[in-house]
Amino acid sequence: MVSSKANCPLYSLCLTKYNTVMLLLVLVYFHIKGLLCLRQLHSVFVVLSIYSEMSNPPVIWTNKIQLYNRILYYRPDIKPQNIDYIFDIMEYDPENYPVLLGVTGDACGTCSSTIVPLYDLPCHDSDEFHCRDCLTKTWYTASDEVIRCPVCDDDCGFMRLQNIIEFKGISRYFVDYEGFDMIRQQSEIQNNLIGFTDSEAAIFLRHTYEYYLDQLMYPDELGGVPSELTENAADPTVESLKRNPFFCTFVQEVLAVPKMMIAPSQLEKHFLEMLDSVTANFTRQKHGAQMRANGVDLRSDDAVLLQAKHIYSEINGIMDNWVGIIKMWVDLLAWRHIERTGPAEGGAAERFRKPLSFWPVNDDGA
Protein backbone atom coordinates (compact mmCIF):
# COMPACT_ATOMS: atom_id res chain seq x y z
CA MET A 1 0.00 0.00 0.00
CA VAL A 2 1.19 3.52 -0.71
CA SER A 3 2.77 4.81 2.50
CA SER A 4 3.15 8.53 1.82
CA LYS A 5 1.86 11.32 -0.36
CA ALA A 6 5.24 11.53 -2.06
CA ASN A 7 4.91 7.94 -3.24
CA CYS A 8 1.36 8.34 -4.52
CA PRO A 9 1.12 9.10 -8.27
CA LEU A 10 -2.26 10.72 -7.71
CA TYR A 11 -1.02 13.28 -5.22
CA SER A 12 1.08 15.24 -7.71
CA LEU A 13 -1.88 15.43 -10.08
CA CYS A 14 -4.36 16.85 -7.60
CA LEU A 15 -4.21 20.53 -6.76
CA THR A 16 -6.91 20.66 -4.11
CA LYS A 17 -8.39 18.33 -1.53
CA TYR A 18 -11.69 18.57 -3.36
CA ASN A 19 -10.21 17.35 -6.62
CA THR A 20 -8.25 14.65 -4.80
CA VAL A 21 -11.41 13.17 -3.33
CA MET A 22 -13.31 13.56 -6.59
CA LEU A 23 -10.57 11.90 -8.62
CA LEU A 24 -10.38 8.95 -6.24
CA LEU A 25 -14.15 8.53 -6.41
CA VAL A 26 -14.12 8.59 -10.20
CA LEU A 27 -11.24 6.10 -10.40
CA VAL A 28 -12.90 3.72 -7.95
CA TYR A 29 -16.22 4.03 -9.78
CA PHE A 30 -14.77 3.07 -13.14
CA HIS A 31 -12.64 0.37 -11.54
CA ILE A 32 -15.71 -1.23 -9.95
CA LYS A 33 -17.51 -1.04 -13.29
CA GLY A 34 -14.64 -3.00 -14.85
CA LEU A 35 -13.80 -0.16 -17.19
CA LEU A 36 -10.47 0.88 -15.74
CA CYS A 37 -7.51 -1.17 -14.59
CA LEU A 38 -5.97 0.46 -11.55
CA ARG A 39 -3.05 -1.91 -11.28
CA GLN A 40 -0.12 0.08 -9.88
CA LEU A 41 -1.75 3.29 -11.17
CA HIS A 42 1.25 3.63 -13.47
CA SER A 43 -0.54 5.03 -16.49
CA VAL A 44 0.06 8.77 -16.13
CA PHE A 45 -1.78 9.44 -19.38
CA VAL A 46 -4.98 7.84 -18.18
CA VAL A 47 -4.90 9.58 -14.79
CA LEU A 48 -4.19 12.92 -16.45
CA SER A 49 -7.05 12.36 -18.88
CA ILE A 50 -9.46 11.64 -16.05
CA TYR A 51 -8.15 14.61 -14.11
CA SER A 52 -8.76 16.90 -17.10
CA GLU A 53 -12.35 15.70 -17.22
CA MET A 54 -12.72 16.82 -13.60
CA SER A 55 -11.85 20.43 -14.44
CA ASN A 56 -15.55 20.74 -15.15
CA PRO A 57 -17.31 18.96 -12.24
CA PRO A 58 -20.83 19.26 -13.75
CA VAL A 59 -19.75 16.74 -16.42
CA ILE A 60 -19.51 14.10 -13.73
CA TRP A 61 -22.92 14.80 -12.24
CA THR A 62 -24.98 15.93 -15.23
CA ASN A 63 -23.65 13.72 -17.98
CA LYS A 64 -22.40 10.44 -16.52
CA ILE A 65 -23.09 8.68 -19.82
CA GLN A 66 -20.61 10.93 -21.63
CA LEU A 67 -17.89 10.35 -19.05
CA TYR A 68 -18.68 6.63 -19.00
CA ASN A 69 -18.11 6.45 -22.77
CA ARG A 70 -14.98 8.60 -22.76
CA ILE A 71 -12.96 6.94 -19.99
CA LEU A 72 -12.74 3.32 -21.02
CA TYR A 73 -11.52 0.07 -19.67
CA TYR A 74 -7.71 0.31 -19.63
CA ARG A 75 -5.42 -2.67 -19.12
CA PRO A 76 -1.69 -1.86 -19.28
CA ASP A 77 -0.66 -5.46 -20.02
CA ILE A 78 -2.67 -5.43 -23.25
CA LYS A 79 -3.18 -1.94 -24.59
CA PRO A 80 -0.18 0.26 -25.47
CA GLN A 81 0.75 2.93 -22.95
CA ASN A 82 1.20 5.90 -25.22
CA ILE A 83 -0.52 9.20 -25.82
CA ASP A 84 -2.01 8.11 -29.17
CA TYR A 85 -3.93 5.35 -27.44
CA ILE A 86 -5.24 7.76 -24.84
CA PHE A 87 -6.42 10.07 -27.62
CA ASP A 88 -8.24 7.06 -29.10
CA ILE A 89 -9.94 6.54 -25.75
CA MET A 90 -10.92 10.14 -25.28
CA GLU A 91 -12.31 10.33 -28.82
CA TYR A 92 -14.19 7.06 -28.42
CA ASP A 93 -17.57 6.98 -30.11
CA PRO A 94 -19.45 3.66 -29.86
CA GLU A 95 -20.80 4.15 -33.37
CA ASN A 96 -17.28 4.13 -34.84
CA TYR A 97 -16.11 0.88 -33.30
CA PRO A 98 -17.06 -2.77 -33.96
CA VAL A 99 -19.70 -4.23 -31.67
CA LEU A 100 -19.32 -7.84 -30.56
CA LEU A 101 -22.69 -9.60 -30.78
CA GLY A 102 -21.55 -13.16 -30.07
CA VAL A 103 -23.16 -16.31 -31.45
CA THR A 104 -26.74 -15.20 -32.09
CA GLY A 105 -27.97 -17.72 -34.64
CA ASP A 106 -27.75 -15.14 -37.41
CA ALA A 107 -25.64 -15.94 -40.46
CA CYS A 108 -22.38 -14.20 -41.31
CA GLY A 109 -22.78 -11.87 -44.27
CA THR A 110 -19.56 -13.21 -45.79
CA CYS A 111 -19.45 -16.97 -45.17
CA SER A 112 -23.02 -17.66 -43.87
CA SER A 113 -21.68 -19.37 -40.72
CA THR A 114 -23.99 -19.39 -37.69
CA ILE A 115 -21.57 -20.88 -35.14
CA VAL A 116 -18.91 -18.15 -35.00
CA PRO A 117 -19.23 -14.93 -32.92
CA LEU A 118 -20.59 -12.07 -35.02
CA TYR A 119 -19.69 -8.38 -35.15
CA ASP A 120 -21.59 -5.31 -36.26
CA LEU A 121 -18.98 -3.33 -38.20
CA PRO A 122 -19.13 0.49 -38.46
CA CYS A 123 -17.11 0.85 -41.68
CA HIS A 124 -20.03 0.54 -44.11
CA ASP A 125 -23.81 0.90 -44.13
CA SER A 126 -25.25 -2.59 -44.09
CA ASP A 127 -27.61 -4.72 -42.03
CA GLU A 128 -25.27 -7.70 -42.34
CA PHE A 129 -23.03 -8.99 -39.56
CA HIS A 130 -19.63 -10.56 -40.07
CA CYS A 131 -17.99 -13.35 -38.06
CA ARG A 132 -14.66 -13.49 -36.27
CA ASP A 133 -13.35 -16.17 -38.66
CA CYS A 134 -13.82 -13.86 -41.64
CA LEU A 135 -12.19 -10.98 -39.77
CA THR A 136 -9.32 -13.29 -38.82
CA LYS A 137 -8.82 -14.16 -42.48
CA THR A 138 -8.53 -10.50 -43.45
CA TRP A 139 -5.92 -10.02 -40.71
CA TYR A 140 -4.04 -13.14 -41.84
CA THR A 141 -3.80 -12.09 -45.48
CA ALA A 142 -2.78 -8.50 -44.69
CA SER A 143 0.86 -7.40 -44.67
CA ASP A 144 0.24 -5.44 -41.46
CA GLU A 145 -1.64 -5.98 -38.19
CA VAL A 146 -4.87 -4.26 -39.24
CA ILE A 147 -8.19 -6.14 -39.22
CA ARG A 148 -10.13 -5.11 -42.31
CA CYS A 149 -13.75 -5.44 -43.30
CA PRO A 150 -14.44 -8.47 -45.55
CA VAL A 151 -16.78 -6.29 -47.65
CA CYS A 152 -15.23 -2.84 -48.08
CA ASP A 153 -11.63 -3.71 -47.08
CA ASP A 154 -11.45 -0.69 -44.76
CA ASP A 155 -9.98 -0.74 -41.26
CA CYS A 156 -12.74 -2.07 -38.99
CA GLY A 157 -11.60 0.14 -36.12
CA PHE A 158 -10.43 -2.40 -33.55
CA MET A 159 -8.28 -0.91 -30.81
CA ARG A 160 -4.65 -1.89 -31.33
CA LEU A 161 -2.76 -4.15 -28.95
CA GLN A 162 0.39 -3.57 -27.02
CA ASN A 163 3.48 -4.71 -28.92
CA ILE A 164 4.11 -8.33 -27.96
CA ILE A 165 7.76 -7.48 -27.23
CA GLU A 166 6.52 -5.43 -24.28
CA PHE A 167 4.68 -8.39 -22.73
CA LYS A 168 5.97 -8.61 -19.15
CA GLY A 169 5.48 -12.31 -18.53
CA ILE A 170 3.01 -14.56 -16.79
CA SER A 171 2.35 -13.77 -13.14
CA ARG A 172 -0.27 -15.03 -10.72
CA TYR A 173 -1.93 -11.66 -11.04
CA PHE A 174 -2.10 -11.99 -14.82
CA VAL A 175 -3.44 -15.56 -14.67
CA ASP A 176 -6.11 -14.71 -12.09
CA TYR A 177 -7.30 -11.52 -13.73
CA GLU A 178 -7.26 -12.42 -17.42
CA GLY A 179 -8.74 -15.87 -16.83
CA PHE A 180 -7.27 -17.04 -20.14
CA ASP A 181 -7.39 -20.65 -18.95
CA MET A 182 -11.20 -20.39 -19.07
CA ILE A 183 -11.06 -19.77 -22.81
CA ARG A 184 -10.78 -23.50 -23.53
CA GLN A 185 -14.25 -23.93 -22.03
CA GLN A 186 -15.71 -21.87 -24.88
CA SER A 187 -16.32 -24.01 -27.95
CA GLU A 188 -16.93 -20.95 -30.13
CA ILE A 189 -13.26 -20.06 -29.53
CA GLN A 190 -11.65 -23.49 -29.38
CA ASN A 191 -13.17 -24.72 -32.62
CA ASN A 192 -12.93 -21.53 -34.69
CA LEU A 193 -10.00 -19.63 -36.14
CA ILE A 194 -7.43 -17.61 -34.27
CA GLY A 195 -4.50 -15.77 -35.81
CA PHE A 196 -1.07 -15.00 -34.42
CA THR A 197 2.34 -13.87 -35.57
CA ASP A 198 5.59 -15.78 -35.29
CA SER A 199 6.76 -13.26 -32.67
CA GLU A 200 3.65 -13.77 -30.55
CA ALA A 201 4.03 -17.54 -30.72
CA ALA A 202 7.74 -17.53 -29.88
CA ILE A 203 7.52 -14.97 -27.07
CA PHE A 204 4.53 -16.66 -25.46
CA LEU A 205 6.30 -20.02 -25.68
CA ARG A 206 9.34 -18.65 -23.88
CA HIS A 207 7.23 -16.97 -21.19
CA THR A 208 5.23 -20.16 -20.66
CA TYR A 209 8.43 -22.19 -20.42
CA GLU A 210 9.84 -19.74 -17.86
CA TYR A 211 6.56 -19.80 -15.91
CA TYR A 212 6.87 -23.58 -15.56
CA LEU A 213 10.58 -23.36 -14.82
CA ASP A 214 9.86 -20.98 -11.95
CA GLN A 215 7.62 -23.65 -10.45
CA LEU A 216 9.93 -26.61 -11.06
CA MET A 217 13.29 -24.86 -10.48
CA TYR A 218 15.24 -27.45 -12.50
CA PRO A 219 15.57 -27.10 -16.32
CA ASP A 220 16.29 -30.82 -16.71
CA GLU A 221 12.67 -31.46 -15.65
CA LEU A 222 11.73 -29.72 -18.92
CA GLY A 223 14.20 -31.68 -21.02
CA GLY A 224 17.10 -29.24 -20.69
CA VAL A 225 20.53 -29.62 -19.17
CA PRO A 226 21.22 -29.14 -15.44
CA SER A 227 21.56 -25.48 -14.48
CA GLU A 228 25.18 -25.90 -13.36
CA LEU A 229 26.14 -26.51 -16.99
CA THR A 230 24.85 -23.10 -18.09
CA GLU A 231 25.32 -20.91 -15.01
CA ASN A 232 28.62 -19.46 -16.30
CA ALA A 233 27.23 -18.52 -19.71
CA ALA A 234 26.79 -14.85 -20.66
CA ASP A 235 23.01 -15.43 -20.55
CA PRO A 236 22.26 -18.67 -18.68
CA THR A 237 18.58 -18.62 -19.65
CA VAL A 238 19.28 -18.29 -23.38
CA GLU A 239 21.99 -20.94 -23.20
CA SER A 240 19.64 -23.30 -21.37
CA LEU A 241 16.95 -22.79 -24.01
CA LYS A 242 19.44 -23.45 -26.83
CA ARG A 243 20.26 -26.80 -25.25
CA ASN A 244 16.65 -27.85 -24.75
CA PRO A 245 15.53 -30.02 -27.72
CA PHE A 246 11.84 -29.60 -26.87
CA PHE A 247 11.92 -25.82 -26.83
CA CYS A 248 14.15 -25.59 -29.93
CA THR A 249 11.87 -27.88 -31.95
CA PHE A 250 8.73 -25.94 -31.07
CA VAL A 251 10.31 -22.53 -31.68
CA GLN A 252 11.61 -23.65 -35.05
CA GLU A 253 8.07 -24.72 -35.97
CA VAL A 254 6.40 -21.43 -34.98
CA LEU A 255 9.05 -19.31 -36.71
CA ALA A 256 8.56 -21.10 -40.04
CA VAL A 257 5.94 -18.57 -41.22
CA PRO A 258 5.29 -14.91 -40.24
CA LYS A 259 1.60 -15.51 -39.48
CA MET A 260 -0.51 -18.54 -38.71
CA MET A 261 -4.26 -19.08 -38.72
CA ILE A 262 -5.73 -22.18 -37.08
CA ALA A 263 -8.32 -23.29 -34.51
CA PRO A 264 -6.89 -23.63 -30.97
CA SER A 265 -8.03 -27.26 -30.73
CA GLN A 266 -6.18 -28.11 -33.95
CA LEU A 267 -3.09 -26.17 -32.88
CA GLU A 268 -2.95 -28.05 -29.60
CA LYS A 269 -3.42 -31.40 -31.33
CA HIS A 270 -0.60 -30.62 -33.77
CA PHE A 271 1.88 -29.67 -31.06
CA LEU A 272 0.99 -32.61 -28.85
CA GLU A 273 1.78 -34.86 -31.82
CA MET A 274 5.07 -33.02 -32.20
CA LEU A 275 5.69 -33.59 -28.50
CA ASP A 276 5.33 -37.34 -29.04
CA SER A 277 7.94 -37.21 -31.80
CA VAL A 278 10.40 -35.09 -29.80
CA THR A 279 9.94 -37.29 -26.73
CA ALA A 280 10.58 -40.44 -28.76
CA ASN A 281 13.82 -38.98 -30.17
CA PHE A 282 14.84 -37.75 -26.70
CA THR A 283 14.25 -41.22 -25.25
CA ARG A 284 16.26 -42.89 -28.02
CA GLN A 285 19.15 -40.56 -27.29
CA LYS A 286 19.05 -41.18 -23.55
CA HIS A 287 18.20 -44.88 -23.37
CA GLY A 288 18.62 -46.24 -26.89
CA ALA A 289 21.24 -48.85 -26.00
CA GLN A 290 19.22 -50.23 -23.11
CA MET A 291 16.00 -50.39 -25.12
CA ARG A 292 17.77 -52.16 -27.99
CA ALA A 293 19.11 -54.70 -25.53
CA ASN A 294 15.57 -55.25 -24.26
CA GLY A 295 14.29 -55.88 -27.77
CA VAL A 296 12.42 -52.60 -28.25
CA ASP A 297 11.92 -51.61 -31.89
CA LEU A 298 13.68 -48.23 -31.96
CA ARG A 299 12.19 -47.45 -35.38
CA SER A 300 8.70 -47.26 -33.87
CA ASP A 301 7.78 -44.05 -32.05
CA ASP A 302 4.88 -45.84 -30.39
CA ALA A 303 7.15 -48.55 -28.98
CA VAL A 304 9.66 -46.00 -27.71
CA LEU A 305 6.94 -43.81 -26.18
CA LEU A 306 5.54 -46.84 -24.37
CA GLN A 307 8.92 -47.28 -22.72
CA ALA A 308 9.17 -43.56 -21.95
CA LYS A 309 5.78 -43.52 -20.23
CA HIS A 310 6.08 -46.75 -18.25
CA ILE A 311 9.78 -47.41 -17.71
CA TYR A 312 11.59 -44.07 -17.67
CA SER A 313 9.73 -41.97 -15.13
CA GLU A 314 11.95 -38.90 -15.56
CA ILE A 315 11.04 -38.71 -19.26
CA ASN A 316 7.38 -39.28 -18.50
CA GLY A 317 7.59 -36.32 -16.11
CA ILE A 318 9.21 -34.14 -18.79
CA MET A 319 6.45 -35.07 -21.21
CA ASP A 320 3.73 -34.24 -18.68
CA ASN A 321 5.31 -30.84 -18.03
CA TRP A 322 5.39 -30.05 -21.75
CA VAL A 323 1.75 -31.07 -22.14
CA GLY A 324 0.96 -28.38 -19.56
CA ILE A 325 3.20 -25.83 -21.32
CA ILE A 326 1.59 -26.49 -24.70
CA LYS A 327 -1.94 -26.12 -23.32
CA MET A 328 -1.15 -22.86 -21.55
CA TRP A 329 0.64 -21.58 -24.65
CA VAL A 330 -2.37 -22.32 -26.86
CA ASP A 331 -4.65 -20.62 -24.32
CA LEU A 332 -2.41 -17.52 -24.41
CA LEU A 333 -2.48 -17.36 -28.20
CA ALA A 334 -6.28 -17.68 -28.20
CA TRP A 335 -6.50 -15.00 -25.51
CA ARG A 336 -4.26 -12.68 -27.52
CA HIS A 337 -6.40 -13.07 -30.63
CA ILE A 338 -9.73 -12.48 -28.92
CA GLU A 339 -8.22 -9.37 -27.37
CA ARG A 340 -7.13 -8.34 -30.86
CA THR A 341 -10.73 -8.73 -32.03
CA GLY A 342 -12.18 -7.24 -28.86
CA PRO A 343 -14.56 -4.29 -28.81
CA ALA A 344 -13.27 -1.00 -27.44
CA GLU A 345 -14.94 -1.41 -24.06
CA GLY A 346 -13.23 -4.70 -23.24
CA GLY A 347 -12.03 -8.08 -24.40
CA ALA A 348 -13.86 -10.36 -26.76
CA ALA A 349 -13.61 -13.24 -24.31
CA GLU A 350 -16.99 -13.44 -22.61
CA ARG A 351 -15.69 -14.59 -19.25
CA PHE A 352 -15.71 -13.41 -15.67
CA ARG A 353 -12.99 -10.96 -14.74
CA LYS A 354 -11.91 -10.81 -11.11
CA PRO A 355 -11.68 -7.35 -9.51
CA LEU A 356 -8.21 -5.88 -9.14
CA SER A 357 -6.56 -4.50 -6.05
CA PHE A 358 -6.57 -0.68 -5.96
CA TRP A 359 -3.01 -0.60 -4.68
CA PRO A 360 0.15 -1.79 -6.45
CA VAL A 361 0.98 -5.48 -6.38
CA ASN A 362 4.39 -6.95 -5.74
CA ASP A 363 6.58 -8.00 -8.65
CA ASP A 364 5.81 -11.65 -7.96
CA GLY A 365 2.09 -10.93 -8.40
CA ALA A 366 1.26 -11.42 -4.71
> Does residue 362 lie in a domain region?
no
Q: What is the pLDDT of residues 176-190, one digit of tens each?
A: 767 777 788 888 889
Please tell me whether residues 132 and 81 are part of one structural domain: no
Q: What pLDDT, on the 0 to 100 scale, is given for residue 25?
A: 63
Residue 28: predicted pLDDT? 62
Of residues 81 and 185, more confidently modeled: 185
Q: Does 359 reside within a domain? A: no
Residue 44 forms part of a structural domain: yes
Domain coverage including residue 112:
108-141
Confidence band of 74 (pLDDT split at 50, 70, 90): very low
pTM above 0.75, yes or no: no
Residue 269 domain flag: yes
pLDDT for the residue 66: 40
- Say yes or no: 127 and 184 in one domain: no
Residues of the chain above pLDDT 90, percent = 43
Nearest-angstrom CA–CA distance, 139 and 160: 12
With contact defined as beta carbons under 8 Å apart, do 329 and 204 qualify? yes
Residue 94 phi/psi, 5-degree rounding, is: -55, -25
Position 26 scores a pLDDT of: 60
Q: Pick the residue with more confidence: 79 or 359?
A: 79
Statement to judge: residues 53 and 193 lie in one domain: no
pLDDT number for residue 6: 43
Alpha-carbon distance of 323 to 272, in angstroms, equals 7
Domains identified in the chain, total number: 3
Give the whole-angstrom CA distance, residue 335 versus residue 69.
25
Mean pLDDT of 123-131: 86
Q: Does the pLDDT value for residue 199 go beyond 70? A: yes
Q: Is the pLDDT of residue 170 over 90?
A: no
**273 and 132 within one domain:** no
CB half-sphere exposure, 267, CA atoms < 13 A: 27
Task: Look at residue 29 in the predicted model and tell me its pLDDT.
Answer: 59
Q: What tens digit of pLDDT does each residue of 82-122 get?
A: 444 444 444 445 567 788 888 889 999 999 999 999 999 98
Q: Looking at the structure, do residues 89 and 112 belong to the same domain, yes or no?
A: no
